[in-house]
């Protein structure tokens, strides 16, 4: 009797263990699914420099943009990422084809978003195929970007628009363009790109954050003195609210600047932002934030899955630098990736992967739709998590 009971308990425990393993989220499995989904639909998206997939319109059709748009590099970047994972030559060719449209943007002197446009496309490609032309495009774009730097302000100017509102606006998103400058310093051997990126990060650290470690979206400076003129939140609920994607940009950006500079101030800020986001009382249990942590009608507000994807990718890298909290960060990232891989957050219209994103609710722009940068950072986070599980390191999927 006892022998039979013992056998039953062993079998039951073994079954539960196998079920637990079967139900455990697998980034590799998800990457395989996304790769197959992309290959199945790749010919449904016409190769068109005037219609690079960005998001969905209200009628459910694809919103395509020209290469000038700040999001134009993410689609090619996603294809490069999936090629990195699969080594499927069809994805490599598609990535090269879409990347080619971005080349002229290296000389765009109207934007700070050259990192998004060039590094997420040419940068991804260069890391995988080592094309010398791609290398030069990255250096050219970095040279163009630093023309927007002011020594008096100590930061790279963001927008040129809304001159009636701001004199020298610097947005938290601009932290994401610094990685290209750090890489350009290595590729060119010229330290000026590193130095400007570092100064910009320091200026942002000094002025963008509130006492609770949340971030303003826009800091406007006096061009002649570099003193703060205004503190605003342009795409969030209010000037003093915590716009979700802005918090994610900060987490990711300061993690990268720590990687490149080893300045402990940047690491500490990344840690503070991570804790702000993932211990916030308004963060839902599935770890996908509302579009603004202070939106007035929570829980009846839209989620922003793009913010979650960006934050998850940043968290995974941060786990390798703040090792005492590594387990916590990876657990949070796993929750995000599990949620984004579930049906409610999966887009059903090719070529998109991630649904329930918010571009700018105050402007009624791209509210509760798939957006290409959510896909890009979702795939990047999956690649990073998969690399850690398989190799215990991020060296294959993080810029060196």
CA dihedral 373, 158, 184, 139 (to 10 degrees): 90
Cβ pair 318, 255 in contact under 8 A: yes
Name residue 232's beta-bridge partners. Answer: 218
Residue 156's φ and ψ, nearest 5 degrees, are -85, 125
Cβ pair 366, 289 in contact under 8 A: no
CA atoms within 13 A on the CB side of 145: 36
Cβ pair 145, 115 in contact under 8 A: yes
Catalytic residue among 140, 173, 198, 304, which?
Answer: 173
53/50 Cα distance (integer angstroms):
10
Q: What is the largest CA-CA distance in the chain?
A: 88
Residue with tokens 């793009």: 306
Helices (H), the chain: 2-23, 27-41, 74-86, 89-100, 114, 124-129, 132-145, 178-188, 192-207, 244-261, 264-278, 305-318, 326-340, 372-391
372/54 Cα distance (integer angstroms):
5
Peptide bond between residue 207 and the one before it cis (omega within 30 degrees of 0): no
Alpha carbon separation from 351 to 15, 96, 234, 325, 355 (Å, rounded): 38, 17, 29, 36, 11
Q: Is 173 a catalytic residue?
A: yes
Structure tokens at 47: 């190769």
Burial label, 275 (beta-carbon count in 10 A; 0-12, 13-18, 19+): middle
Catalytic residue among 113, 198, 292, 322, which?
Answer: 113
Sheet (strand 169-171) strand order: 169-171, 218-221, 228-232
270/119 Cα distance (integer angstroms):
22
Q: Is 292 a catalytic residue?
A: no
Known catalytic residues?
113, 173
């Amino acid at each position: 009797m006892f022998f039979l009971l013992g056998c039953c308990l062993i079998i039951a425990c073994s079954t539960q263990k196998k079920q637990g393993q079967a139900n455990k989220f697998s980034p590799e499995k998800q990457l395989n699914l996304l790769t197959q989904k992309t290959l199945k639909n790749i010919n449904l998206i016409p190769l068109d420099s005037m219609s690079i997939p960005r998001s969905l319109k209200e009628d459910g059709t694809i919103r395509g943009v020209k290469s000038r748009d700040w999001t134009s590099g993410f689609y090619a970047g996603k294809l490069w990422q999936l090629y990195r994972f699969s080594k499927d030559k069809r994805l490599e060719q598609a990535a090269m084809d879409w990347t080619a449209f971005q080349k002229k943007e290296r000389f765009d002197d109207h934007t700070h978003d050259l990192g998004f446009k060039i590094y997420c496309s040419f940068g991804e490609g260069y890391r995988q195929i080592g094309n010398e032309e791609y290398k030069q495009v990255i250096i050219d774009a970095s040279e163009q970007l630093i023309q927007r730097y002011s020594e008096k302000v100590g930061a790279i100017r963001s927008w040129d628009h809304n001159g009636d509102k701001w004199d020298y606006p610097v947005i938290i998103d601009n932290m994401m363009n610094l990685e290209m400058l750090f890489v350009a310093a290595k590729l060119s051997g010229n330290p000026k790109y590193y130095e400007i990126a570092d100064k910009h990060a320091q200026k942002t650290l000094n002025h963008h954050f509130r006492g609770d470690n949340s971030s303003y979206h826009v800091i406007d400076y006096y061009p002649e003195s570099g003193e703060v003129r205004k503190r605003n939140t342009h795409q969030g609920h209010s000037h003093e609210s915590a716009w979700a994607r802005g918090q994610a940009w900060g987490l990711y950006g300061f993690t990268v600047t720590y990687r490149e500079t080893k300045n402990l101030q940047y690491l500490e800020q990344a840690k503070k932002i991570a804790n702000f986001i993932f211990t916030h009382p308004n963060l839902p249990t599935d770890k996908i934030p509302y579009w603004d942590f202070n939106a007035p009608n929570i829980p009846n507000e839209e989620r922003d899955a793009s913010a979650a994807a960006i934050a998850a990718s940043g968290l995974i890298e941060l786990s390798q630098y703040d090792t005492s909290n590594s387990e916590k960060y990876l657990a949070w990232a796993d929750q995000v990736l599990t949620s984004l891989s579930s049906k409610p957050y999966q887009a059903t219209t090719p070529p998109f992967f991630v649904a329930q994103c918010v571009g700018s609710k105050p402007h009624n722009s791209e509210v509760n739709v798939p957006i290409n940068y959510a896909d890009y950072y979702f795939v990047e986070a999956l690649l990073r998590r998969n690399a850690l599980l398989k190799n215990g390191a991020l060296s294959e999927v993080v810029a060196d």
